[in-house]
Amino acid sequence: MADAKGTDWRTGPTRRPSAYGAARTDPDPLEPPTMSRSRVQIAGSYAPGVLMTWEGGKGICRSVPLANEAKDLKPTTIELIFENLNDAVTNWRDRAVKLLPDALPELVLDTPFRDSKTGEARVQRGDFQMTSPDKVGYVPYPLLYRCGICGSTREFDSIADQARQPLPKKCNGHEARWTQVDVVYAHWSGDIEPLSPFNYNFDPQTGTARQIRMCTCGSSSFKLRNAAPVFSEWRYVCEGCGETRSLKKANREVLERLQIQQNDGGRTFQWIEVNMLPVSYRANSTFYVQRTSFIVFEDSAVVELMTPKRRAALIARLAQIHAIPFAEPSEDQIRESVEADQVRAGEWDEYETYRGMAQKAEEAGRTGAARRHRENADDLREAWFADGVVARGQLGSPAVLQAMAAREDWTRRYDPIRLTIQHDAFVREHIEQAMTRHGSVDVMTPDVALTDVVNDPARKAKYQKTVGTLLGHLGVERLVLIRGLPICEFSFGYTRVAATPIYQREHNGQRVDMPVRLKAFGQLPIAENKRPIYVTQQLNEALYFKLDEERVLRWLTANQIVDVPKEHIGRAYLERYADFGPFLEVFKDREGMGSYPRTLPAYVYLLLHTLSHQMMHSLADTSGVDRDGIGEHIFPADLSFVIYRKGMTPDLGNISAMWRNYSESFLKRALDPRTLRCGSGNLCDTRGGACPACVMVSEVSCIASNLLLSRAVLKGGKGPEWEPGSAPNLIGFFDPGLA
Is residue 217 part of the contact set for Zn ion (CB under 5 A)?
yes
Using rule CB under 5 A, residue 712 touches Zn ion: no
Q: Which of 345, 693, 700, 739 binds Zn ion (CB under 5 A)?
A: 693
Annotate 448-465 with b (16+ C-beta within 10 A) or e (fewer): eebbebeeeeeebeebee
Q: Which is nearer to Zn ion, 49 or 151 (CB)?
A: 151
Least Å distance, CB 653 to Zn ion, is 20
The answer to whether residue 147 forms part of the interface with Zn ion (CB under 5 A) is yes
Q: Which stretch binds Zn ion (CB under 5 A): 92-100, 117-125, 233-241, 434-442?
A: 233-241
Question: CB of 147: closest distance to Zn ion in angstroms?
Answer: 3
Phi, psi values for residue 49, rounded to 5°: 110, -20
Rounded CA-CA distance 594/597 in Å is: 9
Query: Nearer to Zn ion by C-beta: 46 or 222?
Result: 222
**What DSSP designation does 158 have?**
S
Residue from 324, 678, 714, 730 binding Zn ion (CB under 5 A): 678
The amino acid at residue 403 is A
Question: Rounded to 5 degrees, what are φ and ψ at 537?
Answer: -125, 135
Give, to the nearest 10 degrees, the angle between helix 331-339 and helix 367-386.
Answer: 60
The residues, ordered by sequence, that sit 6+ positions from 509 with a Cβ below 8 Å of its Cβ are: none
Q: Which of 241, 327, 406, 578 binds Zn ion (CB under 5 A)?
A: 241
Contact pick of 694, 714, 727, 730 for Zn ion (by CB under 5 A): 694
Q: What is the SS3 assignment for 150?
A: coil
Within its chain, how far is the Cα of 1 from the centroid?
37
Site for Zn ion (CB under 5 A): which residue of 78, 149, 163, 586? 149
Say if CB 97 and CB 500 are below 8 A apart: no
Q: In sequence order, what are the residues at sequence separation of 6 or more whose Cβ sits closer than 8 angstroms to the Cβ of residue 491?
A: 43, 44, 47, 133, 289, 290, 291, 521, 533, 534
CA max distance for the chain: 105
Residues 6+ apart with CB under 8 A from 616: 627, 630, 632, 643, 697, 701
Angle between helices 600-623 and 549-558 (to 10 degrees): 120
Is 150 among the residues that bind Zn ion (CB under 5 A)? yes
Quick check: 292 binds Zn ion (CB under 5 A)?
A: no
Q: Is 152 in the site for Zn ion (CB under 5 A)?
A: yes
Q: Which is nearer to Zn ion, 172 or 353 (CB)?
A: 172
Quickly list H helices, 412-478. 416-425, 434-436, 457-474
Spatial contact of 608 and 710, defined as CB atoms under 8 Å apart: no
Among the listed ranges 214-222, 228-236, 534-542, 726-734, the one in contact with Zn ion (CB under 5 A) is: 214-222
Contact flag: residue 476 with Zn ion (CB under 5 A): no
Q: CA 178 to CA 167: how far, in whole Å?
A: 8
Q: Which stretch binds Zn ion (CB under 5 A): 148-156, 229-237, 256-264, 646-654?
A: 148-156
627 contributes a contact to Zn ion by CB under 5 A: no
Shortest approach of Zn ion to residue 390 CB, angstroms?
43
User: Minimum Å distance from CB 590 to Zn ion?
Assistant: 17
Nearer to Zn ion, 171 or 648 (CB): 171
- State yes or no: residue 684 binds Zn ion (CB under 5 A): yes
Instruction: Give me the least distance between CB of 152 and Zn ion, in Å please.
Output: 5
In this complex, which beta carbon is closest to Zn ion, that of residue 121 or of residue 543? 543
How far apart are the C-alpha atoms of 464 and 94, rounded to whole Å? 49
- Choose between 708 and 731: whose C-beta lies nearer to Zn ion: 708
**Rounded distance between C-alpha atoms, residue 640 and residue 573, angstroms:** 13
Binding part of the chain for Zn ion, among 24-32, 134-142, 229-237, 239-247 by CB under 5 A, reads: 239-247
> Which of 183, 238, 334, 730 lies at the binding interface for Zn ion (CB under 5 A)?
238
- Note whether 78 binds Zn ion by CB under 5 A: no
Stretch that binds Zn ion, among 545-553, 574-582, 589-597, 693-701 (CB under 5 A): 693-701
H-run or E-run covering 35: strand 34-36
Nearer to Zn ion among residue 377 and residue 697 (C-beta): 697
Q: Which stretch binds Zn ion (CB under 5 A): 85-93, 428-436, 579-587, 684-692?
A: 684-692
The stretch near Zn ion (CB under 5 A) out of 122-130, 241-249, 587-595, 728-736 is 241-249
Candidate ranges 144-152, 441-449, 652-660, 715-723; the one touching Zn ion (CB under 5 A): 144-152
658-677 residues near Zn ion, rule: CB under 5 A: none
Task: Determine, following the binding rule CB under 5 A, whether residue 640 of this chain makes contact with Zn ion.
Answer: no
Between 145 and 463, whose beta carbon lies closer to Zn ion? Answer: 145
- For Zn ion, how many residues bind (rule: CB under 5 A)? 21
Q: Name residues whose C-beta falls within 8 Å of residue 566's C-beta, 6 or more positions apart in sequence.
A: 553
Residue numbers 243-272 binding Zn ion by CB under 5 A: 243
Q: Is 713 in the site for Zn ion (CB under 5 A)?
A: no
Q: Which is nearer to Zn ion, 76 or 153 (CB)?
A: 153
Please write down the HEC assignment for all residues of 552-605: HHHHHHHCCCCCCCCCCHHHHHHHHCCCCCCCCHHHCCCCCECCCCCCHHHHHH
Strand, coil or helix: 189: coil
Among 619, 702, 707, 712, binds Zn ion (CB under 5 A): 702
Q: Does 215 bind Zn ion (CB under 5 A)?
A: yes
Q: How many CB atoms sit inside 10 A of residue 263's CB?
A: 11
Does the protein bind Zn ion through residue 240 (CB under 5 A)?
A: yes
Are the CB atoms for 692 and 617 separated by under 8 Å?
Answer: no
Nearer to Zn ion among residue 133 and residue 689 (C-beta): 689
Radius of gyration, alpha carbons of the chain: 31
CB 77, min distance to Zn ion, A: 24
In terms of CB distance, is 22 or 241 closer to Zn ion?
241
Asked if 535 contacts 490 with a C-beta cutoff of 8 angstroms, the reply is yes
Applying CB under 5 A, the residues found at the interface with Zn ion are 147, 149-150, 152, 171-172, 215, 217, 219, 238, 240-241, 243, 678, 680, 684, 691, 693-694, 702, 704
